[in-house]
Structure 1
Amino acid sequence: MTAFIPAEWAPHRAMWVGWPSHAEYWFEALEQAQDEVEGLVRALAGPGREQVKLMVGKAEVLADAQARFEGVENVEVVPGEFGDIWLRDTGPIFGAGSKTAAAFRFNGWGGKYDMPGDELVAGQIGEHSGVALTWNDFVMEGGSLDHDGEGTILTTRQCLLNPNRNPAWNKDEAVATAALETAISAKSVLWLGDGLLNDHTDGHVDNLARFVAPGVVACPVAWGRNDPNAEVYDATARDLSGMTDAAGRKIRVLRIPSPGLVLDEDERPIPASHMNFLIANGAVIVPTYGDDEAARFACEALATAFPDREIIPLPSKAILTGGGSFHCISQQEPA
């Protein structure tokens, strides 16, 4: 029987998290981003939850990270090297039981952000975890895919078929699907269109739509009249409602309130998303961006999908200044 990539809600033996390590990338947001990641790590490491492997990407900040988590059970601070903290994209994708792991070429999200060290992340995680990597000769980031544990993959054409990743694919879904079948035993690929406005990942699906159960996909509904992604959200929901998964189930759609319009320091919309939640052992950690009411409704909606897990909202606005949130900075090792 084919071993598919486990769904994120399957049990984990560990959870990798990246620690904001480079002042030259984070500028004035560094300390707040570190505080937000500390909150995430402490929530993950709670009783009955995760063994956290916190990767620190710069020797100069290692001592501070170790001091923050001294005496905290279930947190291992791992010295490493990376460009930035987006381990979901630069690390490997672990298979069932973490007996295998697939790794991919990484080109800085289509050549936009070339940060020395990012190309080394997958190898470091594989070595530390004791898992041999299977390298695949195409460009892909883990955040561009979502998995139902039964061979169904969610992705977006905007990212996976973008010529800035794999020009030879030439927007050909069949070629990309065949590559995923070989690399991660994909059985069925569900293709969505565009991701969020101003998402420098070119529309990663983990900001747009996520499996929350077999045959059930969560995606946002606009919050407020000025939500810049309202049309994208509605198009995504319509597309999903016409799809079936690898087991032949018609996809059911769970609409979850978005954070609404969130602006950067230059008053431009940024890709804030409650979809970047992280499913942990015993909990779902939901990023929030300053609108308490939107966050509360999003958490209530997610609680209907995960009644056996604690829903934990935590601030992620400083992390978002770097371009992502909790799901983007993490990667699970399935048990």
Structure 2
Amino acid sequence: MNFRLLPEWAEQDAVMLTWPHQATDWCDNLTAVEPVYVQLCQHICNAEQLVIIAHDEALKTHISQLLHTNAVDLSRVHFVVTPCNDTWARDHGPLTCAAVADNSQLKIVDFTFNGWGNKFTSELDNKINAVLVKQLADTRNQYHVLDLVLEGGGVEIDQHGVLLTTSECLLNPNRNPNLTQQDIEQCLREQLGATDFLWVDHGYLAGDDTDSHIDTLVRFAPNDTLVYVKCDDKNDQHFSALDAMEKQLQGFKTTTAKPYTLIDLPWPKAVFNDDGDRLPATYANYLIINGAVLVPIYADANDELALAQIQTAYPEHQIIGVNCLPIIHQFGSLHCITMQLPRGFLAGASL
């Protein structure tokens, strides 16, 4: 049976969050960060179910009280209590494929997470998926554990099987040093059902620890559309790389040999933390849920333009801004802290 990674606008059972706690790097910022997580829970539970990874029972109790106080329907929330190092669900979470001939047949793929090239401790995070699948997944779904190092934020796919990624991330020797580009493509053909590849060779965000994850730079949208970040400030340190990225995107062709429709996102003003480090603010790091797109905003003059551009890319979705300034202080954004679980993932998840 041939399986293919589902595009992110496919119908979902739930979104997974891994909650920040005192034993993570978020400890000094929890007061500011937890309200963002609560807001995400509210939006998600309005559209679908929610899976929360909680480090221990005490944290589960705390989260439950917090959500109850903020009128989140706890009947839509599933908890998985298991230790975690950090909260980047996009990168330690599972990637879910559906059978090409029958989307009700799913394959859950558990790649190896090594803390973005062994930059950070990740042993606990790398065990989360096994617990998640054992406790919540429909037993009819296949579950595959792989040695290949891959993070969900490093790949995008469309409904045709075209896989979009960056060479800086997937070809980085800190991930799979013994594999060539051809080796990696073959693995992704076999495991994710990719049929074609678009390799982005330019673009980065200062403050990003992921080696240029694609979800901070370029995203697929329906109807052969690419949504990407554009820097129009020639004095900004990102200008040259993002200008080169835009030119490369203009040369990409669809499976029918036509240019992609390109929708550019504005460039938010530079944001710095108290240590003077530039933070990776990007509007491309949005989350698609059933019927809506949750978009990170940054109290920036370009927030409204970003929302309008994303509305153009997803005309059938409601576009909702979520202030992610507290999140980027941990050098990621909204898409990075979430992972969608497609329709059929959860046991008894029909609403």
**TM interval, short-chain normalised:** over 0.9
The residue that corresponds to 2:38 in the other structure is 38
With over 3 angstroms needed to count, the CA separation of the structure-2 counterparts of 1:190 and 1:92, relative to structure 1, is same
Name the CA distance, whole Å, in 2 between partners of 1:231 and 1:107.
Answer: 30
Name the CA distance, whole Å, in 1 between partners of 2:237 and 2:59.
Answer: 37
Deviations 1:186-222 (A, max 9, x none): 1111101243223101111000100011421110112
Q: Pick from 81, 105, 118 the counterpart of residue 112 of structure 2.
A: 105
With over 3 angstroms needed to count, the CA separation of the structure-2 counterparts of 1:93 and 1:253, relative to structure 1, is same
Contact 1:5 1:184 in 2 (8 A): yes
Contact 2:109 2:144 in 1 (8 A): yes
Q: What does 1:5-84 correspond to in 2, within 5 Å?
A: 5-46=5-46, 49-70=47-68, 72-73=72-73, 74-84=76-86
Residue range with higher mean Cα deviation, 97-106 or 140-149: 97-106
Name the CA distance, whole Å, in 2 between partners of 1:272 and 1:26.
Answer: 17
**Aligned pairs, number:** 330
The residue that corresponds to 1:119 in the other structure is 126
Contact 1:6 1:150 in 2 (8 A): no
Residue range with higher mean Cα deviation, 60-69 or 129-138: 129-138
1:321 Cα deviation (Å)? 1.8
Deviations 1:144-172 (A, max 9, x none): 00111221111001110000101112xx3
SS of the residue corresponding to residue 52 of structure 1 reads strand
Contact 2:80 2:131 in 1 (8 A): no
Q: Pick from 328, 331, 334 the counterpart of residue 339 of structure 2.
A: 331
Deviations 1:269-308 (A, max 9, x none): 22111111001111110111231x2111100101111122
- Cα RMSD, aligned residues only: 1.9
Contact 1:136 1:183 in 2 (8 A): no
With over 3 angstroms needed to count, the CA separation of the structure-2 counterparts of 1:313 and 1:228, relative to structure 1, is farther
Contact 1:187 1:246 in 2 (8 A): no
With over 3 angstroms needed to count, the CA separation of the structure-2 counterparts of 1:149 and 1:126, relative to structure 1, is farther
Name the CA distance, whole Å, in 2 between partners of 1:22 and 1:324.
Answer: 18
Contact 1:22 1:58 in 2 (8 A): no
Give the fraction of aligned pairs with identical amino acids, expressed as a percent. Answer: 30
1:24 Cα deviation (Å)? 4.1
1:267 Cα deviation (Å)? 1.6
Contact 1:219 1:233 in 2 (8 A): no
1:138 Cα deviation (Å)? 1.3
TM-score (norm 1): 0.92
Q: Pick from 82, 86, 89 the counterpart of residue 87 of structure 1.
A: 89
The residue that corresponds to 1:156 in the other structure is 166
With over 3 angstroms needed to count, the CA separation of the structure-2 counterparts of 1:43 and 1:224, relative to structure 1, is farther
The residue that corresponds to 1:300 in the other structure is 308
Contact 2:285 2:335 in 1 (8 A): yes
Residue range with higher mean Cα deviation, 5-14 or 64-73: 64-73
- Residue type of the partner of 2:170? L
1:233 Cα deviation (Å)? 2.1
TM-score (norm 2): 0.88
What are structure 1's unaligned runs of at least 5 residues? none
Name the CA distance, whole Å, in 2 between partners of 1:14 and 1:241.
Answer: 34
With over 3 angstroms needed to count, the CA separation of the structure-2 counterparts of 1:228 and 1:29, relative to structure 1, is farther
Contact 2:24 2:86 in 1 (8 A): no
Contact 2:225 2:261 in 1 (8 A): yes
Name the CA distance, whole Å, in 2 between partners of 1:82 and 1:259.
Answer: 32
The residue that corresponds to 1:258 in the other structure is 267
What are structure 2's unaligned runs of at least 5 residues? 99-103, 344-351
Q: Pick from 145, 155, 173 the counterpart of residue 181 of structure 2.
A: 173
